[in-house]
């Protein structure tokens, strides 16, 4: 693609002429950035228990269905949700842990699983439901964060199916949005451990706060326009 | 395509009637006023509740304002940084000095793709450069995918708000548009059914049209990321399904670092739709193999922005994050709706942005489309002092008018020059007061109000009453009062 160089130069020249007080080099720019006021609330004040409860409350306010379970109960909880969904064809990301599939819905007749190893869009479109993991939960706004790793799948996977089951571990939940962003500041460890909470700066991210919605007609909130109309979240209480 | 609206040029500040003239028409449309008032009441109530619960709202506003000012002060450096990161991540970056160049770049890219159809996410910059009529005239079918934008496109209506652009249309009007254009005779006016009709209508487009056009809410200089904030999922569809994505973004939209989103995202959803967070926010860096469009273009649009940047008081206009809180709170917008502003940017922000984007050559009535009550400043999440900019622009309009031939003998300017002479001395002022009291007595009714004045004075009294002058001035009253008490 040919760059229209003259316009680039012209715009940048105009900007430079309009900003005589601009920082002269990267160090000065960083110094001026560091002085910006940030007196807003950065870290939360809730107990771990209250934080998880707030997350669940917010999700329910968005009309998401929320179930809690212990790590040992996860397979059964998933099975129950899959069966209750009344749907049969499901997709899951390539990094889906084997035990999720093998011990749960795998054994139920009538449920059909496809793992996304480069599926065609049509095949994903045919799926009635999808199950993925998540990167983080933000309690304050009931937001689920996907960084689209192998356990969360590519973006289209959690978008096309009408029914979306998201598995969120309680230990992934932070209270405030700034807490999530500060976790993104540190690069993720090579050998992640339970104590290591750094997420790294994502190259792809989707923040989901409830099922897709619109209020474009008379400000009446309608759940489910183009994204999944039903959002189910299993909160795995690995914090207890 | 029979249901695609023909190329129309509307809401163009170059041809729009002056605000008072356009507003008068809107005020005579009770249905429109009812629709607008209802929508605004709902958003305002939701926003109010969520802002109160946020204990650090003012601190967030201060941080956002400082970040945005910092960006504008260093815009060149941050844009170059964004450009480098975006290219490194596999994206292409184009620079468009004005609307015509942006349109041409987009059409060239579409021709290169051999695209005859595009799907679009709601974007204000595309409306600003009037992209849709241009593409349609060039033989490209354009499909808006945001529910409100579909209503407008199919109904051949103009947007009247920057976040909920179809808020002036009620459910039975939507039903009529959908039933007619989608050929659905039995459609009811239940919003749920109407939304479903749009979902079905668009699903095929999402899965088959290989080229999408979007705007962006933020660009991140540090990482090269682009952010789109939305509710319906039509954005995610356009951002992930097509082969090629073109994002057209104003040059002011850049943020220094990824972390700055923690401030902006907390403010934006609460201000715009009264939600703690909008349902979907998408962030992407350039191109990701195996996920989403494999060709990605960003067009950085100037179109008058760099000239706003050069002006001291007006520069803050560019801090705007397009949340529309100012129009939701504005007593003028509430009465007139958006169309009266004759621009794709209505409300208080439109009243300052539009004339500036037009280099003060058009839309000069907009800086007066305000009572200067200051509500817009109070709700603005990035603290744009809109009244200050309105006053500055009014001064510029007056200066321009003064230079026009014939203005010297204009009744208004003549009167103001005489007033200038009279008010320059105390005796002149007192004499004028006495004469005014005598003169106005003829027009003051028994209820103490002046309902109608002749000539130039009628400009004031045709829309409001004037209190008759009191029997004595404050000075006179004070003099008698102190005498009496001594």
Q: Beta-carbon neighbour count of residue A139 at 10 Å?
A: 24
A70 CB near a chain B CB, below 8 Å?
Answer: no
Q: B32 in contact with A at a CB cutoff of 8 Å?
A: no
Are B97 and A226 a contacting pair at CB < 8 A?
no
Report the pLDDT value the prediction gives residue A237, as an integer from 0 to 100: 96
Output the pLDDT for position A103: 59
> Which residues in chain B are contacts of A150 at CB distance < 8 A?
none
pLDDT at B270: 96
> Testing the interface with A: which of B233, B268, B305 to mutate, by most A Cβ within 10 A?
B233
Which residue of chain A is at minimal alpha-carbon distance from B50? A141
- pLDDT by residue (tens digit) across B401-451? 888 877 778 888 888 889 999 999 999 998 988 888 888 888 998 888 999
pLDDT score for B410:
83
What pLDDT, on the 0 to 100 scale, is given for residue B475? 84
Predicted pLDDT of residue B8: 42
> In the Cβ-directed half-sphere of B466, how many Cα atoms lie within 13 Å?
17
Q: Is the pLDDT of residue B114 over 90?
A: yes
Mark yes or no for CB contact A18/B105 under 8 Å. Answer: no
Q: How far is CA A219 from CA A214, B38, B190, B274, B283, in A?
A: 8, 8, 12, 11, 27
**Residue B170 pLDDT grade (very low, low, confident, very high; cuts 50, 70, 90):** very high
Mean pLDDT, chain B, rounded, equals 93
- The pLDDT value given to residue A100: 82
Residue range B311-316: mean pLDDT, rounded? 96
The predicted structure's pLDDT at residue A191: 65
Q: Which residue of B has its CA nearest to A208?
A: B280
Instruction: Give the chain B residue nearest A154 (alpha carbons).
Output: B291
Nearest to B291 among A8, A141, A155 (CB): A155
Select from A140, A226, A228 the residue whose CB has the most chain B CBs within 10 Å, as the one to mutate to test that interface. A226
Per the rule left: phi > 0, alpha: psi between -120 and 50, beta: everything else, B292 is left
| pLDDT in the model for residue B412 | 80
pLDDT, position A219: 83
**Given this model, what pLDDT does residue B6 score?**
36
Check CB contact of A39 with chain B, cutoff 8 Å. yes
Please state at what angle helix B171-181 crosses helix B191-208, rounded to 10 degrees: 40
Give the pLDDT mean for B238-254: 98
pLDDT computed for residue A2 by the predictor: 55
Q: What is the pLDDT of residue B7?
A: 37
| Nearest-by-Cβ selection for A227 from B89, B202, B280 | B280
Q: Which of A84, A56, A44, A106 is nearest to A237 (CA)?
A: A56
* Mean pLDDT, range B316-334, rounded to an integer: 97
B positions 74-103 inside 8 Å of A (CB): 74-77, 79-80, 89, 92-97, 101
- Token couple for A12: 């940048």
| Closest alpha carbon within chain A to B54 | A41
User: Which pLDDT score, from 0 to 100, does residue A203 have?
Assistant: 95
Residue B263, chain A, CB below 8 Å: the answer is yes
Q: Sort out which chain B residues have CB atoms less than 8 A from A155's CB and list them.
A: 236, 239-240, 282, 291-292
- Give the per-residue pLDDT at B460: 83
Phi, psi of B246 (to 5 degrees): -120, 120
Average of per-residue pLDDT across B188-197: 91
Question: Minimal Cα distance from A219: which residue of B?
Answer: B39
pLDDT per residue as tens digits for the range B248-292: 999 999 999 999 999 999 999 999 999 999 999 999 999 999 999
pLDDT tens sequence across B335-377: 999 999 999 999 999 999 999 999 889 999 999 999 999 999 9
Reported as a pLDDT band with limits 50, 70 and 90, residue B5 is very low
Residue of A nearest to B112 (CA): A1
Gap between the Cα atoms of B377 and B154, Å rounded: 35
Residues of chain A with pLDDT under 70: 1-5, 102-109, 187-196
Q: Write the DSSP assignment of A105-151 as a string of letters.
A: GGGSTT-EEEE-SS--HHHHHH-SEEEEE-SEEEGGGTEEEE---TT
pTM, entire model: 0.91
B151 touches chain A (CB under 8 A): yes
**pLDDT at residue B2 greater than cutoff 50:** no
The predicted structure's pLDDT at residue B413: 84
Which chain A residues are within 8 Å of B275, Cβ to Cβ? Answer: 209
pLDDT (mean) for B201-224: 96
Give the pLDDT of residue A198.
84
Taking CB atoms and an 8 Å cutoff, what residues of chain A touch B309? Answer: 14-15, 18-19
Q: Does A27 touch chain B (CB under 8 A)?
A: no
Contact status of A185 with chain B (Cβ, < 8 Å)? yes
Selecting from B39, B223, B236 the residue whose C-beta is nearest the C-beta of A218 gives: B39
| pLDDT for B210 beyond 80 | yes
């Amino acid at each position: 693609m040919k760059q229209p160089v003259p316009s680039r130069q012209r715009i940048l020249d105009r900007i430079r002429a309009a900003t005589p007080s601009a920082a002269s080099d990267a160090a000065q720019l960083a110094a001026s950035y560091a002085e910006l006021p940030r007196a807003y609330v950065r870290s939360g004040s809730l107990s771990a228990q209250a934080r998880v409860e707030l997350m669940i409350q917010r999700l329910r306010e968005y009309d998401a269905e929320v179930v809690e379970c212990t790590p040992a109960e996860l397979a059964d909880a998933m099975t129950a949700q899959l069966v209750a969904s009344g749907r049969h064809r499901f997709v899951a990301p390539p990094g889906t842990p084997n035990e999720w599939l093998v011990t749960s819905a795998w054994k139920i007749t009538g449920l059909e699983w496809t793992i996304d190893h480069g599926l065609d869009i049509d095949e994903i479109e045919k799926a009635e439901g999808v199950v993925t993991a998540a990167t983080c939960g933000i309690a304050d706004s009931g937001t689920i964060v996907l960084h689209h790793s192998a356990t969360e799948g590519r973006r289209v996977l959690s978008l096309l199916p009408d029914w979306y089951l998201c598995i969120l571990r309680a230990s992934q939940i932070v209270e405030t949005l700034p807490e999530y962003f500060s976790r993104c500041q540190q690069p993720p460890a090579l050998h992640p451990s339970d104590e290591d909470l750094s997420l790294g700066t994502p190259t792809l991210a989707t923040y989901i706060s409830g099922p897709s919605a619109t209020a474009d007609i008379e400000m009446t909130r309608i759940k489910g326009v183009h994204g999944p109309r039903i959002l189910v979240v299993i909160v795995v209480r690995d914090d207890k | 395509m029979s249901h695609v609206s023909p190329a129309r040029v509307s809401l163009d500040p170059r041809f729009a009637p002056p605000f008072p003239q356009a507003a008068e028409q809107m005020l005579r449309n009770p249905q429109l006023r009812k629709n607008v008032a209802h929508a605004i009441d709902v958003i305002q109530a939701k926003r109010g509740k969520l802002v109160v619960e946020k204990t650090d709202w003012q601190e967030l506003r201060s941080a956002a304002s400082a970040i945005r000012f910092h960006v504008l002060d260093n815009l060149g450096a941050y844009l170059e940084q964004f450009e480098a990161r975006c290219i490194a991540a596999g994206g292409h970056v184009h620079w468009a000095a004005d609307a015509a160049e942006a349109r041409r770049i987009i059409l060239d890219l579409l021709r290169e793709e051999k695209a005859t159809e595009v799907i679009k996410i709601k974007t204000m910059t595309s409306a600003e450069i009037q992209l849709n009529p241009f593409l349609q005239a060039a033989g490209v079918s354009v499909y808006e995918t945001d529910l409100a934008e579909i209503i407008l496109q199919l109904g051949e209506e103009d947007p009247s708000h920057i976040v909920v652009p179809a808020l002036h249309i009620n459910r039975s009007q939507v039903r009529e548009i959908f039933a007619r254009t989608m050929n659905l005779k039995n459609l009811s006016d239940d919003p749920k059914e109407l939304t479903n009709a749009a979902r079905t209508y668009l699903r095929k487009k999402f899965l088959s049209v290989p080229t999408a056009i979007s705007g962006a809410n933020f660009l991140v200089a540090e990482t090269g990321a682009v952010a789109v904030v939305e509710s319906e999922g039509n954005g995610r569809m356009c951002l992930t399904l097509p082969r090629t994505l073109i994002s057209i973004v104003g040059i002011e939209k850049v943020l220094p670092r990824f972390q700055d989103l923690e401030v902006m995202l907390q403010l934006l959803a609460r201000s715009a739709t009264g939600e703690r967070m909008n349902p979907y926010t998408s962030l992407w860096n350039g191109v990701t193999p195996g996920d989403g469009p494999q060709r990605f273009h960003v067009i950085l649009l100037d179109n008058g922005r760099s000239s706003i940047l050069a002006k001291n008081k007006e520069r803050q206009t560019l801090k705007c994050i397009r949340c529309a809180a100012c129009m939701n709170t504005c007593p003028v917008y509430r009465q007139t709706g958006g169309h009266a502003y004759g621009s794709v940017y209505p409300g208080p922000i439109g009243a300052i942005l539009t004339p500036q984007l037009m280099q003060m050559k058009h839309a000069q009535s907009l800086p007066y489309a305000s009572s200067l009550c200051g509500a817009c400043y109070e709700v603005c999440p990035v603290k744009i002092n809109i009244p200050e900019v309105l006053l500055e622009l009014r001064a510029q309009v007056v200066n321009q008018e003064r230079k026009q031939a014939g203005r010297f003998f204009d009744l208004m300017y003549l009167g103001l020059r005489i007033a200038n002479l009279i008010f320059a001395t105390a005796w002149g002022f007192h004499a004028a007061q006495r004469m005014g009291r005598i003169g106005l007595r003829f027009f003051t009714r028994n209820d103490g109000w002046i309902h109608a004045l002749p000539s130039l004075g009628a400009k004031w009294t045709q829309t409001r009453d004037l209190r008759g002058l009191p029997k004595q001035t404050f000075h006179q009253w004070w003099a008698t009062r102190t005498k009496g008490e001594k």
